[in-house]
Structure 1
Amino acid sequence: MADDREVLREVWEGRIPVAFHLAEDEVASEQPEPFYLLVSRQTYITLVADKVQKHFKKFTATDEDDEVWFEYKGIPLKWHYPFGVLFDLYAHDITLPWNITLHFKNFPEDDLLHCKSKEVIEAHYMSSLKEADVLKHKGQIINNMQERDHKQLWTGLQNDKFDQFWTTNRRLMERTNNEPFKHIPFKIYQEDRMFIQKLFKPNTDEGEPLTLDHLLKDTLPDIFQNGGADQFRVLIQGIEGPRETPVQWLSEHLSHPDNFMHICVIRKPPIESEL
C-alpha cells in the first residue's frame, strides 16, 4: 500500500497561484481587479467557481441561470479534469500566476460538459473512483465501503482535508494479499487530443515490476519506441520523475484523489539555434 506519508502529503499540498480575470466583453462597468487564489492541484476548477463568480458578479450583467465557465488563451478548460492536469497540459511553462478568464455567457456546448451544481462534480468523482477500483481490485474495496466512507472521500477532497481523505483512501490503495494492483488506473493527456487509457498490469507474468517507461512505450509507441522520447516531457502531478520508476509505486503515491494517475505528455519547445 501507499506507505510514504510524507510523499502523499507533499503531493496533496501542491498549489498553483491563479489570477482570475473577467472576460473583457462581459464587463458592465469598469474592468475589475483580478481575483487571486492559491488553487489545489487535486481539486476541480468548478469547486472554486463560487468564490470567483461572487467576486465578479457585480461587474457584469448576467442572468441567475447563466452557467460560468473558464478559458485560457481561447481554450475552454474542462472542469472534469483535475486542476493540476489542466495546468500541466496548457500552462506548465508560464511565469506564474496562471491567468485564467471567467465567462458568464456563451457557454461552449461543443467543448465542455455542463456542471450546474456540486452534485454533478461529486457524481463524476465517485464514478471515476469506482472505475479505478474496478481496475485495481475488481471493485471489491469500493463496493464494501459504506455510504459514509464515500462521503468522507468526497468531503475530504472538497474541503482540502488531507487526513480526512487519506483515512479512507488508504484502503483503496492497499494491496490485496500483498499482491500488486490488477491493472493501473491511468490516463495520458496530450494537447489537442482525447486522453488515452487502456489496460496495463504493474508486473510481467513472471512478476517483474513494470516501469513508467514500459507504460509509455506500450501506450504511445509512435513517440516512445521510435526515438522521439527526448522531444517530450512527461509530467505526473507536475513532476518529471525517472521513467524507470515502477508504475505500482507511482499509482500508490502520485495518483489524484480519483485514484487515477494522470500523465501529461508535453512536446518540448524547439531549441533555437545560435547564430
Structure 2
Amino acid sequence: MNTAAQKLALAASLLLASAGARADEVQVAVAANFAGPMQKIAAAFEQSTGHKVLQTSGSTGKFYAQIKAGAPFEVLFAADDETPAKLEAEGAGVPGSRFTYAVGKLVLWSSKADRVDSKGEVLKKGDFAHLAVANPKLAPYGQAAMETIKALGLTDALTPKFVVGENIAQTHQFVATGNAELGFVALSQVQEGGSFKSGSGWIVPASMHAPIRQDMILLEKGKGKPAAEALMKFMKTDAAKAVITAAGYSL
C-alpha cells in the first residue's frame, strides 16, 4: 500500500471511530404521562444527533427508589418538580441541570362520549361505580386528583369508588377498558390536536390543585455522557417544545 493509500485508510478509520464516539445511547426514565410525547421527541433527537434513546416509562415515585438503588438511568423526566430536586440534594442528580420541561394538565375523562360534562358535575351526581385515580403517593397526577376532589368537597363520597392505578398509564387503561367509568388522567393521554381523541372530559382548572410542574434532571450516571448531555440540550429546542405543546402541556 502506498503512502497516499495508507493515509486515506487511516483517515477513513479515524472518521469511523469519530462517528462511533459521537453515536451513543442514553438510558432515560420517563414519567408515564410523558411516554407518548417522549417517543416522538426521541425519534427527532435520534435523527438530529445519531444518539439513541433507551426509554423506560413508569411512576416517578418508583423511579426515585430505583435510582437510589443504583438503576442505570442517566436522565429522569419526572412528573413533578420535587423528585428531581430531592435527587439533586441527595447527590444523585447533577447540580444545576434540572429544569421544567412541561407543565401538565389534569382531566376527568370517560371513554364514552357525553359521559363527562364540561364542568365536571358528573362527580357530584355520583351515578357511577368506579373512579380511577393514580396512586397519590407515587404519581403527581394522582396527588393533583386528590387535591381536586378535596377542593370539590367530595372526598368522603368518592373514596369508596376509587380504583387506584400504580401510575397514570395504568389509570388511563382502567378507564379506556371500561373497568372504571371515569378517571383522572393526564390531558396528554387523551388529547390530540386540541380535542379529545375519544370519549368526553373535563379539563380541571389549574386553580383546583398545585401546579404539575414536570422537571427533568441529568443524573450522576449521565454526567459526561455525550448522549445524555445532548438530550438535555435538545429538550430546550423549538422542535422538542413543539411536540410538548401539541401534546397538551404548557411550557
**TM-score, reference length from structure 1:** 0.28
Higher relative contact order, structure no. (Cα contacts within 8 Å, ≥ 6 residues apart): 2
TM-score by length of 2: 0.30
Bigger proportion of residues as helix: 2
